[in-house]
A and B are shown apart, each in its own frame.
Chain A
Amino acid sequence: GAVVSQHPSWVICKSGTSVKIECRSLDFQATTMFWYRQFPKQSLMLMATSNEGSKATYEQGVEKDKFLINHASLTLSTLTVTSAHPEDSSFYICSASPTSGVSGGYFGPGTRLTVL
């Protein structure tokens, strides 16, 4: 099946620094990519939807200046957590939808961010 990768899989950073997380579709082109956040023992919450070549659409309550999303190509989207704080510690998951359209998309393995 289709493969979506995320890098890094785990990152620890100091409070106040910025962290970039990459999401790549390895064997298909993704017009749309989604970024989710998962808290321990909780569900995935959609943060934003990114379309290649255009600005991301953020869900209500998500700070667009804090969580910068770039979808520069049909195979790569990045999420940058700026000026990270301990409360940003979480599991960040991306999903990608092929240009052909597949309901539900394909998910990456996730990135665990720990902010000290």
Chain B
Amino acid sequence: GDSVTQMEGPVTLSEEAFLTINCTYTATGYPSLFWYVQYPGEGLQLLLKATKADDKGSNKGFEATYRKETTSFHLEKGSVQVSDSAVYFCALTRGTDKLIFGTGTRLQVFP
């Protein structure tokens, strides 16, 4: 069945460091891919998405490119801030809103 695999955390970085959180997926057909962020004490928020191969989703300085050849959707940010500390979830859906999530990666950014 469909699945999403994320790198285990926590990822600990200093402010202004470069961030990469790896995400790979297994799915038949052409899924849509998402990154969600969950700040402490809050619900999930959609961070960015891509719906077809080679699409790049971007928001708030974060980017991820839909790579079908490597079945990946890695999240990147050039310069993280303390306020980016949160749990990041990679997810996919195939034609419906039924989301399949990865296990989440906790990011901790220190000043």
**Chain A residues within 8 Å of B, Cβ to Cβ:** 4, 6, 32, 34, 41-46, 49, 93, 95, 97, 102-110
**A-B contacts, 10 listed (Cβ < 8 Å):** A34-B97, A34-B99, A41-B103, A44-B89, A45-B101, A104-B32, A104-B34, A104-B97, A105-B99, A109-B42
B98 CB-CB contact with A under 8 Å = yes
A46 contacts B34, C-beta separation under 8 Å: no
Complex CA distance for A10 and B89, rounded to whole angstroms = 23
A109 contacts B99, C-beta separation under 8 Å: no
A109 contacts B49, C-beta separation under 8 Å: no
Complex CA distance for A44 and B98, rounded to whole angstroms = 12
B82 CB-CB contact with A under 8 Å = no
B49 contacts A4, C-beta separation under 8 Å: no
Residue of B nearest to A105 (CB): B97
B58 CB-CB contact with A under 8 Å = no
Q: Tell me how far the C-beta of A86 lies from the nearest C-beta in chain B, rounded to whole angstroms.
A: 23
Complex CA distance for A110 and B34, rounded to whole angstroms = 19
Task: Specify the main secondary structure of chain B where it touches its partner.
Answer: strand
Residues of A within 8 A of B104 (CB): 41-43
8 Å CB contact of B101 from A4, A41, A43, A110: A43
Residues of B within 8 A of A44 (CB): 44, 89, 99, 101
Complex CA distance for A6 and B42, rounded to whole angstroms = 11
Q: Tell me how far the C-beta of B10 lies from the nearest C-beta in chain A, rounded to whole angstroms.
A: 10
Residues of A within 8 A of B41 (CB): 109
Complex CA distance for A103 and B93, rounded to whole angstroms = 8
Q: Tell me how far the C-beta of A21 lies from the nearest C-beta in chain B, rounded to whole angstroms.
A: 13
Q: Tell me how far the C-beta of A40 lies from the nearest C-beta in chain B, rounded to whole angstroms.
A: 11
Residues of B within 8 A of A41 (CB): 103-104
B98 contacts A104, C-beta separation under 8 Å: no
Residues of B within 8 A of A109 (CB): 41-43
Residues of A within 8 A of B45 (CB): 107
8 Å CB contact of A97 from B32, B97, B101: B97
Residues of A within 8 A of B34 (CB): 103-104
